[in-house]
Structure 1
């Protein structure tokens, strides 16, 4: 895997603590440790960037293994942003899809805020008006299910 100077990229699912920390400090929606422990092992493929033995960035793919691939949890510690880590992680995730997927595989993601700027150079484009991304958040109390903001 490609390494950015002073960083190493490793094929690995982040541990729960790193996952929760990186989501929190990079501005992604917080998750519970319980949900992380249940969900992370189901990753189709994941990569982490390390700096001096600390995980400072991550990205994962969730997938059915053939038709649909969804990039999730691309997060870089703000202290390490602007150094090409996000690009390296996305490139590594997409290289894996290219290696294992049939030609008709659909790769999707949700880009919040200005994150679309990270993904556009890789060929990701908005799907509207042909399709519209939609989401529903479930909570412990189904009456509190809501949409993400």
Structure 2
């Protein structure tokens, strides 16, 4: 995997390593068309992500972001790629994605002789497909297909399941 360089940002924009404040993270997600998340869902983002970055504008507000979740060894998933609509079509998403990929290239274990490469995945919504394809991502179907479990609080949990979970959590 060759290192990726981060392109130059337009005037008035600055790239930062890390994560925007929770309120800005939530606003970026919802305003850019991603599914809104609660404060409780957003709070663990900074401490449970492998790396993230965001772009600030002159008005001192985050306008674009992305992050990597993964184990730091071989599995890396790009998540939360978002740019506010009024700042789209300026290459900000490309800058964020290239920064995330460059970080993986610099920090992930990789041994080309042994064929050891990072495994980098993402889910592409319609508007992001062109950006991801431009940066080398390809659909995996029919070899593999992304799947999701729609969690429903109505799932049946048996007493045996609860006992097993309690034992695993040390509650017994």
**TM-score, structure 1 normalization:** 0.90
- When residues 142 and 42 of structure 1 are mapped into structure 2, their CA distance, relative to the original with a 3 A threshold, is farther
Alignment partners' CA distance in 1, 2:55 and 2:80: 13
Distance (whole Å) between structure 2 residues aligned to residue 29 and residue 14 of structure 1: 17
Structure whose CA Rg is larger: 2
User: Which residue in the other structure is 1:96 paired with?
Assistant: 103
Measure, in 1, the Cα distance between the counterparts of 2:57 and 2:48: 25
The DSSP-based 3-state class of the residue aligned with 1:56 is strand
Deviations 1:32-77 (A, max 9, x none): 1111113332111000100021100100000100110000001000
Aligned twin of 1:147: none
What is residue 9 of structure 2 aligned with on the other side?
A: 4
Q: Name stretches of at least 5 consecutive residues in structure 2 with no aligned partner.
A: 1-5, 111-116, 156-172
| Matched positions, count | 142
The answer to whether the Cα contact below 8 Å between 1:44 and 1:63 also exists between their aligned partners in 2 is yes
Q: Give the corresponding residue for 1:86.
A: 93
Aligned with 1:30 (options 36, 40, 43): 36
1:48 equivalent in structure 2: 54
The CA distance in 1 between the partners of 2:44 and 2:77, in whole Å, is 18
Q: What's 1:112 paired with?
A: 125
Q: Which moves more between the two structures, 130-139 or 91-100?
A: 130-139
Secondary structure, counterpart of 1:18 in structure 2: helix
Q: Which moved more, 1:100-109 or 1:57-66?
A: 100-109
Aligned-pair RMSD on alpha carbons?
1.4
Q: Please report how far the alpha carbon of residue 91 of structure 1 lies from its aligned counterpart in structure 2 after TM superposition.
A: 0.4
Q: List runs of 5+ in structure 1 lacking aligned partners.
A: 144-149
Asked if 2 retains the 8 angstrom alpha-carbon contact of 1:2 and 1:9, the reply is no
List structure 1 segments (4+ residues) > 4 angstroms apart after TM superposition.
none
Partner secondary structure for residue 27 of structure 1 = coil
Task: Encode CA deviations 1:96-137: one digit per residue, 9 max, x unaligned.
Answer: 000011232100000011311011111100000110000113
User: 1:15/1:138 Cα in 2 relative to 1: closer, same or farther (>3 Å)?
Assistant: farther
* Match for residue 74 of structure 2 among 38, 61, 67: 67
